[in-house]
Amino acid sequence: MERSVIVVTSSEFTHRPVMESEILAVLDSVPAGIVVDATLGAGGHTEAILNRRADLRVLGLDQDPAALAAARKRLAGFGDRVMTHRCRFDDLRLAMDAHEVTHLSGALFDLGVSSPQLDQAERGFSFRNDGPLDMRMDTDAVRSASDVVNGSEERDLARIIRTYGDERFADRIAAAIVAARPISSTARLAEVVTAAIPAAARRTGGHPAKRTFQAIRIEVNAELEVLPEALDHAIDALAPGGRIAVLAYHSGEDRIVKDRLRSATGECDCPHGLPCGCGAVQRVRIVRRVPRTPSKAEIESNPRAASARLRVAEKMASDPRERA
pLDDT digits (tens, 9 = 90+) for 40-50: 999 999 999 99
Q: Is the pLDDT of residue 64 over 90?
A: yes
Q: Which residues of 86-115 are buried (b: 16+ CB within 10 A; e: fewer)?
A: bebbbbbeebbeeeebeebbbbbbbbbbbb
pLDDT digits (tens, 9 = 90+) for 183-220: 999 999 999 999 999 999 998 878 999 999 999 999 99
- In order of their start, the domains of the chain are 20-110+226-323 (3.40.50.150), 123-221 (1.10.150.170)
Q: Is the pLDDT of residue 21 over 60?
A: yes
> What value does the mean pLDDT take over residues 59-71?
95
The confidence band for 10, taking pLDDT boundaries of 50, 70 and 90, is: very low
Q: Whose CA is closest to 20, among 108, 81, 83, 104?
A: 108
Give dist(CA 319, CA 315) in Å, integer. 8
Pairing of strands 82-86, 104-110: unpaired
Across the chain, mean pLDDT equals 91
pLDDT digits (tens, 9 = 90+) for 89-145: 999 999 999 999 999 999 999 998 877 788 788 999 999 889 999 999 999 999 999
Give dist(CA 24, CA 5) in Å, integer. 14
CB-CB contact of 179 with 196 (8 Å): no
* Report field, pTM of the whole predicted structure over 0.95: no
Percent of the chain with pLDDT over 90: 80
User: What 3 state SS string does the chain have?
Assistant: CCCCCCCCCCCCCCCCCCCHHHHHHHHCCCCCEEEEECCCCCCHHHHHHHHHCCCEEEEEEECCHHHHHHHHHHCHHHHHHEEEEECCHHHHHHHHHHCCCCCEEEEEEECCCCHHHHHCHHHCCCCCCCCECCCCCCCCCCCCHHHHHHHCCHHHHHHHHHHHHCCCCHHHHHHHHHHHCCCCEHHHHHHHHHHHCCHHHHCCCCCCCHHHHHHHHHHHHCHHHHHHHHHHHHHHHEEEEEEEEEEECCHHHHHHHHHHHHHHCCCCCCCCCCCCCCCCCCCEEECCCCCECCCHHHHHHCHHHCCCEEEEEEECCCCHHHHC
Give dist(CA 65, CA 138) in Å, integer. 7
pLDDT digits (tens, 9 = 90+) for 113-126: 877 788 788 999 99
pLDDT digits (tens, 9 = 90+) for 213-247: 999 999 999 999 999 999 999 999 999 999 999 99
pLDDT digits (tens, 9 = 90+) for 253-298: 999 999 999 999 987 666 766 666 666 789 999 998 899 999 999 9
